Structure 1
């Protein structure tokens, strides 16, 4: 059971130390059917390699990695990334990537807390335009709508579900005031 959560950015060393915990969240999401770039079954080795790469990107200053921790037991129950590195003509933009919430922590405000923290982190990094994409019709789409993200459109047959079969994706953007 998930209690209150705290959200904070990980340093490169913390990101490296949390690879296993982050992999557990990613594997749970893929097993639950989330289309988040990986096909099922997602092995621990593939998940760990992904997060090790993310940790190196954090160390290079290319992204911010945020985690949500369950205050009752300290476990990582969610994560999101703010991808800062963009083409030179888009220094004001960031991508929101891999917003993941463990199934045991869903519908408890974890996703909203992660997204608010991501927006704040992007603003502090001087970003004024954020973009993301998500599976059309999923829970995340409703979350982004509630948080004031603007729907750009739907791309049919954009990706595969983890078990196979095509799914559509919805693209969103948000303009950050005060950035």
Structure 2
């Protein structure tokens, strides 16, 4: 049910409403218990500072920022594609911070953002995407959309309430018909 959702790439966060709405989404996700690098009590001021750092990376071409807007034009979700990789990994990118405001969940926003970020990665010549998540719901979304489970790392991070949590590493091969192989252990 994504009829009223538009996915856009933001090349700048110059518009004050973009910074404000992205900050609202991030704070809502942290308040809702999302493990996205921030702890409980996360403030709008810290959220704005985070997005200002992201804006600098976007302007340098190191990162791409996609947003999902609802029918009223409000940003209700976002995802990032980290394009800047080491010299020996020009073929891959990391997917970061898939965030959907709690009021917009279960409406196809996350899936639409993931399709769009995968399309953007292909357009940038990327053939392998990697991400990690501490959320069972997000993991189900990724697996449902063709991502492969690589493994889990116990005690990797803390949830916003301070409880330790594992992270799940996933990847997606964007080259149809190509098989990724790993050396035998």
Query: Is this a same-fold pair by TM over 0.5?
Result: yes
Which position in structure 1 is the counterpart of 2:171? 173
Aligned Cα root-mean-square deviation (Å): 1.5
Q: Quick one: distance in 1 between partners of 2:114 and 2:131?
A: 11
Q: CA deviation at 1:17?
A: 5.5
Q: Quick one: distance in 2 between partners of 1:104 and 1:27?
A: 13
Q: How many residue pairs get matched?
A: 175
Which position in structure 1 is the counterpart of 2:29? 29
Runs of 5+ consecutive residues of structure 2 not aligned to the other structure = 177-185
Q: CA deviation at 1:8?
A: 1.1
Which position in structure 2 is the counterpart of 1:155? 153
> Which of structure 1's runs of 4+ aligned residues deviate more than 4 A?
13-17
- TM alignment of 1:119-130, pairs within 5 A: 119-130=118-129
Cα deviation per residue 1:114-169 (whole Å; 9 max; x = unaligned)? Answer: 00000000110110000000015x21000001000000000001110001110011
Change (3 A) 1:53 1:166: same
TM-score (norm 1): 0.94
Which position in structure 1 is the counterpart of 2:103? 104
* Rg larger in structure: 2
Which position in structure 2 is the counterpart of 1:39? 39
